[in-house]
Amino acid sequence: MIRIGILGEIGSGKSFVAKNFGHPVFNADIEVGKLYRNDRKVFNKLKKILPKYINSFPIKKNQISQAILANKYNLKNIVKIVHQEIRKKINIFLKKNRNKKIIILDIPLLLESKLYKKNDILVFVESKKSEIYRRLKKRKNFNLYLFTKFKKIQLPLEYKKKKAHFILKNDFTISSVRRNINNILKKICND
């Protein structure tokens, strides 16, 4: 099985690119949302450490946001609890797709959380800064301060770019993204 990890800045279109590979995708953001909506165990753990913010089930994103904005250590505590569960979800995804030739890992903290393997192929999604900010501002609950806090727990983009085997320029058009993906897949499959 070939594992392709998608890297890039918040808002660079990693999920858009991952979807267009045409192979099974593990999307960590979607899985985290499911945990907040459906997992009472995660709720209980978060409520225990953040009772002032997490007090109703299902967990609402604004509760998480308020906790993060209140104290920088809250983000680390949330990530610690959530990543334990995400690791379990990744293992289930990998077992379910073990016979697939290629799988895609769309995990925002792929390198930071050490969820990648040495043989994974890393693709860095690069987008224009102006386009990233334009798209982020359109998001329903976009908060620049929160965005800055999340960026601080991530490795520098230049480091991620250097670790990547491929850099995919994302102009947010399906035709050009698919063309770039096809070029990457040809190179991967011919090696």
Model confidence at 86, pLDDT cuts 50, 70, 90, reads very high
The residues spanned by each domain of the chain are 1-24+98-191, 28-96
For residue 182, what pLDDT is reported? 95
Closest CA to 125 of 10, 27, 29: 10
Give the pLDDT of residue 68: 87
Q: Under CATH, domain 1-24+98-191 is a member of which superfamily?
A: P-loop containing nucleotide triphosphate hydrolases (3.40.50.300)
pLDDT in tens, 16-70: 999 999 999 999 999 999 999 999 999 999 999 999 999 999 999 889 988 988 8
- Note the pLDDT tens digit of each residue in 90-149: 999 999 999 999 999 999 888 888 788 889 999 999 999 888 888 887 877 777 777 777
Nearest to 112 by CA among 7, 11, 40: 7
Closest CA to 17 of 191, 164, 190: 164
Q: What confidence category does residue 191 fall into, taking pLDDT thresholds of 50, 70 and 90?
A: low
- Say what the pTM is: 0.89
